[in-house]
Amino acid sequence: MSKYDFGMIGLGTMGRSLLLNMADHGVNGAGFDKDAAKGAQLETDGAGAKGNVKGFSDVEPFVASLNSPKAIMMLVPAGKIVDEVIEELLPFLDKGDILIDGGNSHFTDTNRRVDYLEAKGFHFFGMGVSGGEEGARRGPSMMPGGDKAAYNVMKPILEAIAAKIDGVPCVTYIGPGASGHFVKMVHNGIEYGLMQLIAETYEVLRNGLQLSNEEIHDVFAKWNEGRLSSFLIEITRDIFTYKEPGADHLLVDDIKDEARAKGTGKWTSQIAYDLESPITVIDASVSMRDLSKYKAIRVKAADLYTQSVALNVDKEAFLKSLEEAFFFSMIMSYAQGMFMLSRASAEYKYDLQLDEIAKIWRGGCIIRSKFLENIYGAYGKNKALEHLLLDADVVALVQGATQGMRTVVSSAVSAGIALPCYSAALSYFDNFKTANMPSNLTQAQRDYFGAHTYALNGKEGFFHTQWMPKS
C-alpha cells in the first residue's frame, strides 16, 4: 500500500483545500470522510499535483496508510464531534502519533484534550486556521499552539502551505496549551467587529447619503486602494458588483437582513469579561448579529416609530470624514483584541508574542489589512507595550482621524442612523484617554448599599463609610 505523509479528517471545503495545497507542495496526503463522494472529489481535484492524494471512507485503512509517526488533522465542527473523532481514531494510533485540531474549538475544550491525549502518550495541538476556502487552498494564516515538539515535526509542511508576506510564512508557534485556539478565537472576534463596522458604513452610505449601489462600490473600491486596504473591504467592493446570471440587480439586495454566527464572537465576549478586558466593538457586533435575527419584531417596530432621515451634509466632505471614522474604529477593534491577548497571555501563562501574531495575520487570514503592518511594527519595537493605543505612531494616526469620527457619529445619531460599533469605539477611546473616569461615584454607590468598600487617592487600603445614620 502507498504511504502518505499527512492525514486529514473531514473533506469539506477547508479539509479538501488544505490537502490539495499540501499536494501542490509535494506532500502526499490521505483524507478521510464518511461521505465517499468527498474522497473521490479529492482525488479528482488532486490529479496532476506534485504530491499524491487519496480518499478513504473507512478509518482503519486510512490510519494504516500513514507513515509513522502518524500526523492527522481534524477539520470537523467544534464540540462533541471532535471528541467522537478522537475516540474513533485512538484504537488505530500508536504512542507518539500526532493529532491536530484545526477547527474552531473552544479553548477550554482544547485544554481538556491536551491533558487527555498527553496522558495516553499522544502528541496533540490545537491550531487556528484562517483564510476561508481560498486561503486554505492557496495559503492560509495558521495559529498552532500546544505541544511544541509536535509542531516542530509539522513545521516544514505548515510553513510550505502557509500564505507568504515578503517570503515569510504566515504561521508561527503561538504558545503552550490552548493558546493557538485562543488566538484564533480573538481573531474571529476582531473579524466580527470589522464586519459590523463595514455593515454600519453601508447603512450610512445607503440611507444616510442615499448613494446608489454603484456609488457604494466606488467608495469601497477607493478605500481599498488606500490605508483601509484589507481583505474585508476588498470582498465588500466585489459584493457590490455581483448579479446572479440573468438578474438586473445586485444579489446583496435580495439577501435577508438576518446575520448568523457560529459562536466564536460570543466566546470572545464571554472570555473578555472573565479577563476584565473591555472589547466594546466586538461586544456590540455580537449583539447586533443577535438583534438582526428578530426580523419579525423589527418589522412591527418599524411601523410604530419614526425612521431615520437622510443626512443633510456635503457628501464629498462627509465621505472624507467617514473614511477617517472607519480607520479610527478599525484601530479600536484591533487594539481591543490585542489588549485581550496580552491579558490572556498573563492570565493563562501563554507568553504570547504579539508582534509575531500580528505578523502572521498580515497574509492569508480574514482580518488581514494594511494596518497590521503598524501593529507588527508597534509590538516589534516594544514587546512590553501595554496597549496598542500607547504607541506613538498609533497615537498620531488616531489623533488624525478623531475629528472625522466625531463628525460621523454625531451626524448619524442626529439623523437616527444606528452606529453601535462606531459609537462603542468612540466611547471606549474617550474613556481610555480619561485620567479620571466617573467610577468613583460607582464605588461610592456600591459602598452605600452593600458595604463593598472603596479605595482612596493617595492612601493604602480599602475603606467603608456609614453613609446615612442607622435607623
Is 80 exceeded by the pLDDT of residue 2? Answer: no
- In degrees, rounded to 5, the angle at the alpha carbon of residue 95 between the alpha carbons of residues 90 and 101 is 55
The CA–CA distances, whole Å, from 87 to 55, 109, 120, 162 equal: 21, 15, 12, 29
What is the tens place of the pLDDT at every residue in 73-105?
999 888 899 999 999 999 999 999 999 999 999
Residue 406: all three cell numbers together: 466625531
Beta strands at 71-74 and 6-9: parallel, antiparallel or unpaired: parallel
Task: Calculate helix-pair angle for 231-239, 213-223, nearest 10 degrees.
Answer: 160
Q: Which residues are catalytic?
A: 184, 191
3-state secondary structure 87-141: HHHHHHCCCCCEEEECCCCCHHHHHHHHHHHHHCCCEEEEEEEECHHHHHHHCCE
Q: Would the pLDDT of 14 be above 70? A: yes
Which of 117-126, 223-232, 398-407 has the least mean pLDDT? 117-126
Orientation of helix 420-432 relative to helix 392-415, angle to 10°: 130
**Cell 456635503, residue?**
314
For residue 463, what is the DSSP state? B
Report yes or no: 433 and 399 within 8 Å, Cβ to Cβ: no
Q: Categorize the per-residue pLDDT at 343 as very low, low, confident or very high, splitting at 50, 70 and 90.
A: very high
Distance between CA 335 and CA 331 in Å, rounded?
6
| pLDDT for residue 133 | 87
Structure confidence by residue, pLDDT tens digits, 452-470: 999 999 999 999 999 998 7
Closest Cα to residue 183, out of 240, 111, 255, 104? 104
Number of H helices, E strands in the chain: 19, 9
How large is the average pLDDT for residues 157-184? 96
**Directed axis angle between helix 107-119 and helix 80-89, to 10°?**
20
What was the pLDDT predicted at 23? 94
Q: Which residues pair with 54 in a beta bridge?
A: 30
Which domains occur in the chain, in start order?
6-177 (3.40.50.720), 184-432 (1.10.1040.10), 438-471 (1.20.5.320)
Q: What is the dihedral of CA 146, 151, 157, 162, to 10 degrees?
A: 40
Q: Confidence class of residue 433 from pLDDT cuts 50, 70 and 90?
A: very high
Q: Which three cell numbers stand for residue 89?
A: 481514531
> By three-state DSSP, how is residue 131 classified?
coil
pTM of the shown model: 0.94
- pLDDT interval class at 404 (50, 70, 90): very high
Mean per-residue pLDDT of the chain: 95
Residue 360 scores a pLDDT above 60: yes
pLDDT band for 124, please (50, 70, 90 cuts): very high
256-278 pLDDT, tens digit per residue, is: 999 988 889 999 999 999 999 99
pLDDT in tens, 297-341: 999 999 999 999 999 999 999 999 999 999 999 999 999 999 999
